Homo-oligomer: A and B are copies of this chain.
């Protein structure tokens, strides 16, 4: 039935460049491959009788058949040929499995390499362990059919398709001796993120970076459709990848013997080309800028589900979308199908491959590498093991000198840029900064003093004038948030560090990637002690909604925080530093942390500064606190709590307090600022949450709280609805109101401005409702006048910049 699952053609006995494998090597490699494929099929079907030492019966089969066969044999084929070259050339190599649900390929190899049993001793290399190994796969309480964090050797889950290649490049950056093989599914190739990530080759330096060897696995079908790349002409396909800057080599066929020879030959050719490119670049005189090489890649065209039965019930199976998932669905209830499954499994000849104890025969085992050269045991795939903490300069020395609150204006991100510049300088091979063409726009350009922007494409003479392009740049800029986030994740998953800055509204582009990485982190951190902690993803959200008065409505969306709060409290952190010194303190903290996604919200424009460095560190350490300089409730219950989170809302709240202090001096105000947003949650729900007593002592249990928030107001309610005083919380935030406005006008439209906040206080403090009626009228006039001024002059009145307390000098 299945002529291709064992060698059908007599191997060519004379080794040549095109037929590099001798008969014995071919036999052993093919045997190892058959063992892999047997394990793949075994884990899909079997819960008992793992080596078929008795005839297959329905009760040996799992009750619920879940799993995917389609890409497994092509992936195991790739892996065994990588093994050969790792041994031959002592390669340091990891493997990323792009196709969704292709985990059996990685799992089977990990098991045969012995790594799986080292990590999970219960899954021992014998028939008992094999039975458990089979049963747990895609089984309740067991493991998934993706290369989940539980999978040794994996840094990429697959399944949410499109990031395999960018993860691969992230792993290769600054790992000059590493080869990252990325098997790219032809399904995932249709996704946008994957389609643009081929251009990553314009950012990889052959001297200090490693190599990425993509293997486009063109098996022709997705879940239920052919793939685009499999249904264009060979000329178009070749042209496409040459256009992307690669040299494609095709390995195509379905006869294992011929395919082994082809793959051995082509893959060796690729490895030798990679080495030649690297040697040429690395042996050039020091200081010679390398040229962008044309790296090799492989197009592996095999039947989908290769080596499974050709047909089932008269329908084409091998080489069809029907082989995507379980090739045969009902062996438990259909005796003919049971026989077909058994014949298929036996076609790999397990009795030739495994010894009496159930372990792979040594002669096959010896075709694989040993120790850390085993792909599934390569330490780069458990990057925390290689991670070294960053060398950090003392962030305090970059601080802004603040003698009194609210006197000077500084760009917080500009200040941060200088700190990051020196972080780059002190970590020239283990820290990179990512941003989509906006590093300078986000005022982080001091970093260019330490290092340029990575660029391996063509350079022109005019680039010398402020272009900051450099073949060895540490700043990664490409107009694809997907690619940047993918690089960043790949970089930290292999033990390094980074920092990403994004326009606030456009960070939603990577919502889905954030979700997936958070899930990866949660599993790794909470359930897998063998995975060493990795550096956090540090995400600076800047060019904020409140300064998108000029870019307009499309650029106004602070909703990423809502998404973040849906993920596990164990791996998520949100910081809203109100000024530059707080931002420095927060950034230092985040860069030292592991296993989090730290989201930092800070605007790029110049804003008033409030806290000197000591006060900032103290405030950020507590995460929330009363600002005495803005409060006048000393020692007493206040009439109202003015709370705020976010730099611009803080500034407006303070301006409102200044107005009230001048015009309603009798009202007792407590001013509370929140840096660490999760402090608002109950301590039972987040490790940073305040206890009930702490919360009540800040916010009172019965006084109005006017909370000015950076993002959508509902998030504060979500965090505080269980608090005693919640009914008195009155939250202002972005209400989807805006177009082209001045900053104050945009604040007014959404009622986070000083005037509306002061009105809120008057409306909610009973003693003011009558006594301050005239102040309220004055405030309403201010609103109208501010908007009129803006529409007439195109700018806000200079008077609104800055504020002072009554009695202070200007």
Task: Assess whether A522 is in contact with B242, with CB atoms less than 8 Å apart.
Answer: no
Q: Which residues on B sit within 8 Å (CB–CB) of A551?
A: 144-145, 159
Task: Assess whether A140 is in contact with B742, with CB atoms less than 8 Å apart.
Answer: yes
Q: Which of A29-37, A258-266, A437-445, A647-655 is found at the contact surface with chain B?
A: A437-445
Task: Assess whether A140 is in contact with B745, with CB atoms less than 8 Å apart.
Answer: yes
Q: Which residues on B sit within 8 Å (CB–CB) of A550?
A: 64, 66, 138
Q: Which residues on B sit within 8 Å (CB–CB) of A562?
A: 562-563, 566
Assuming the contacts A191-B479, A197-B192, asked whether A226 and B469 have C-beta atoms less than 8 A apart, the reply is yes
Q: Which residues on B sit within 8 Å (CB–CB) of A62?
A: 794
| A567 CB within 8 Å of chain B | yes
**CB < 8 Å neighbour of A159 from B245, B457, B555:** B555
Task: Assess whether A192 is in contact with B194, with CB atoms less than 8 Å apart.
Answer: yes
A790 to B196, CA, bound (A): 43
| A466 CB within 8 Å of chain B | yes
What's the least CB distance linking A502 to chain B, in Å?
Answer: 11
**Most chain B CB atoms below 10 A, which of A187, A192, A566:** A192
Assuming the contacts A192-B197, A243-B239, A566-B559, asked whether A479 and B187 have C-beta atoms less than 8 A apart, the reply is yes
Assuming the contacts A62-B794, A191-B479, A243-B240, asked whether A146 and B463 have C-beta atoms less than 8 A apart, the reply is no
Q: Specify the chain B residue showing the minimal Cβ separation from A518.
A: B736
Q: Which of A73-81, A104-112, A121-129, A710-718 is found at the contact surface with chain B?
A: A710-718
Task: Assess whether B223 is in contact with A245, with CB atoms less than 8 Å apart.
Answer: no
Q: Which of A84-92, A276-284, A506-514 is found at the contact surface with chain B?
A: A506-514
Q: Which residues on B sit within 8 Å (CB–CB) of A408?
A: none
Report how many copies the assembly holds: 2
A462 to B231, CA, bound (A): 13
A32 to B767, CA, bound (A): 67
Task: Assess whether B563 is in contact with A191, with CB atoms less than 8 Å apart.
Answer: no
Task: Assess whether B794 is in contact with A457, with CB atoms less than 8 Å apart.
Answer: no
Which residues, 154 to 176 on A, are CB-close (under 8 Å) to B?
157, 159-162
What's the least CB distance linking A608 to chain B, in Å?
Answer: 20
Task: Assess whether A554 is in contact with B159, with CB atoms less than 8 Å apart.
Answer: yes
Task: Assess whether A465 is in contact with B512, with CB atoms less than 8 Å apart.
Answer: no
Q: Specify the chain B residue showing the minimal Cβ separation from A741.
A: B140
A236 to B239, CA, bound (A): 8
Task: Assess whether A441 is in contact with B223, with CB atoms less than 8 Å apart.
Answer: yes
Q: Which residues on B sit within 8 Å (CB–CB) of A236?
A: 242-245
Q: Which residues on B sit within 8 Å (CB–CB) of A567?
A: 736
Q: Specify the chain B residue showing the minimal Cβ separation from A719.
A: B714
What's the least CB distance linking A57 to chain B, in Å?
Answer: 16
Task: Assess whether A726 is in contact with B721, with CB atoms less than 8 Å apart.
Answer: yes
**CB < 8 Å neighbour of A438 from B47, B162, B223:** B223
Q: Which residues on B sit within 8 Å (CB–CB) of A793?
A: 63
A145 to B554, CA, bound (A): 11
Task: Assess whether B243 is in contact with A736, with CB atoms less than 8 Å apart.
Answer: no
| A739 CB within 8 Å of chain B | yes
Q: Which residues on B sit within 8 Å (CB–CB) of A455?
A: 225-226, 231
| A676 CB within 8 Å of chain B | no
Task: Assess whether A740 is in contact with B138, with CB atoms less than 8 Å apart.
Answer: yes
Q: Which residues on B sit within 8 Å (CB–CB) of A508?
A: 511-512, 515, 563
Q: Give A117-155 as 1s and 0s: 1 = Cβ < 8 Å from B's Cβ atoms.
A: 000000000000000000000111111111010000000
What's the least CB distance linking A741 to chain B, in Å?
Answer: 5
A678 to B755, CA, bound (A): 31
**CB < 8 Å neighbour of A511 from B191, B199, B319, B512:** B512
A231 to B199, CA, bound (A): 12
A567 to B556, CA, bound (A): 11
A439 to B223, CA, bound (A): 10
**CB < 8 Å neighbour of A320 from B140, B227, B316, B462:** B462
Task: Assess whether B553 is in contact with A519, with CB atoms less than 8 Å apart.
Answer: yes
| A190 CB within 8 Å of chain B | yes
Q: Which residues on B sit within 8 Å (CB–CB) of A563?
A: 508, 511, 559, 562-563
What's the least CB distance linking A714 to chain B, in Å?
Answer: 5
A568 to B566, CA, bound (A): 21
Q: Give A304-334 as 1s and 0s: 1 = Cβ < 8 Å from B's Cβ atoms.
A: 0000000000011001110000000000000
Q: Which residues on B sit within 8 Å (CB–CB) of A627?
A: none
Task: Assess whether A740 is in contact with B202, with CB atoms less than 8 Å apart.
Answer: no
A441 to B439, CA, bound (A): 43
| A56 CB within 8 Å of chain B | no
**CB < 8 Å neighbour of A222 from B138, B242, B479:** B479
Q: Which residues on B sit within 8 Å (CB–CB) of A227?
A: 479
A236 to B238, CA, bound (A): 11
Q: Which residues on B sit within 8 Å (CB–CB) of A482?
A: 191-192
**Most chain B CB atoms below 10 A, which of A237, A505, A522, A787:** A505
Q: Which residues on B sit within 8 Å (CB–CB) of A320?
A: 462
Which residues, 430 to 475 on A, are CB-close (under 8 Å) to B?
437-441, 453, 455, 457-460, 462-463, 465-467, 469
What's the least CB distance linking A168 to chain B, in Å?
Answer: 16
Q: Give A590-632 as 1s and 0s: 1 = Cβ < 8 Å from B's Cβ atoms.
A: 0000000000000000000000000000000000000000000
| A795 CB within 8 Å of chain B | yes
Task: Assess whether B244 is in contact with A465, with CB atoms less than 8 Å apart.
Answer: no
| A193 CB within 8 Å of chain B | yes
Assuming the contacts A140-B745, A740-B144, asked whether A465 and B717 have C-beta atoms less than 8 A apart, the reply is no
Assuming the contacts A191-B479, A477-B225, asked whether A316 and B462 have C-beta atoms less than 8 A apart, the reply is yes
Q: Give A202-239 as 1s and 0s: 1 = Cβ < 8 Å from B's Cβ atoms.
A: 10000000000000000000111111100111001111
**CB < 8 Å neighbour of A736 from B453, B568, B712, B794:** B568
Q: Give A486-517 as 1s and 0s: 1 = Cβ < 8 Å from B's Cβ atoms.
A: 00000000000000000001101101100110
| A241 CB within 8 Å of chain B | yes
Q: Which residues on B sit within 8 Å (CB–CB) of A138?
A: 550, 740
**CB < 8 Å neighbour of A237 from B63, B243, B718:** B243
| A791 CB within 8 Å of chain B | yes
| A340 CB within 8 Å of chain B | no
Q: Which residues on B sit within 8 Å (CB–CB) of A157?
A: 554
**Most chain B CB atoms below 10 A, which of A47, A66, A440, A552:** A552
Q: Which residues on B sit within 8 Å (CB–CB) of A519?
A: 553-554, 736
Q: Which residues on B sit within 8 Å (CB–CB) of A145?
A: 551-552
Q: Specify the chain B residue showing the minimal Cβ separation from A466.
A: B315
A565 to B718, CA, bound (A): 13
A47 to B791, CA, bound (A): 12
**CB < 8 Å neighbour of A794 from B64, B237, B515, B549:** B64
A95 to B727, CA, bound (A): 52
A463 to B321, CA, bound (A): 10
A495 to B670, CA, bound (A): 55
| A478 CB within 8 Å of chain B | yes
Task: Assess whether A740 is in contact with B512, with CB atoms less than 8 Å apart.
Answer: no
Task: Assess whether B226 is in contact with A794, with CB atoms less than 8 Å apart.
Answer: no
| A523 CB within 8 Å of chain B | yes
> What are 24 A-B residue pairs whose CB atoms fall within 8 Å in the complex?
A63-B795, A64-B550, A140-B742, A141-B741, A144-B554, A159-B555, A160-B506, A187-B479, A191-B192, A194-B196, A196-B196, A202-B232, A224-B439, A224-B440, A225-B467, A226-B455, A232-B245, A242-B243, A505-B515, A515-B559, A559-B566, A565-B714, A566-B712, A717-B718
Could you list 18 further interchain pairs (A-B, Cβ under 8 angstroms) beyond the known A141-B791, A191-B196, A192-B196?
A: A63-B795, A64-B550, A140-B740, A140-B790, A143-B739, A143-B740, A191-B479, A192-B483, A199-B228, A202-B228, A224-B437, A226-B469, A233-B458, A236-B244, A321-B467, A508-B511, A519-B554, A566-B714
The 7 nearest A-B residue pairs measured at CB: A240-B243, A192-B192, A144-B552, A195-B196, A231-B457, A239-B243, A190-B479
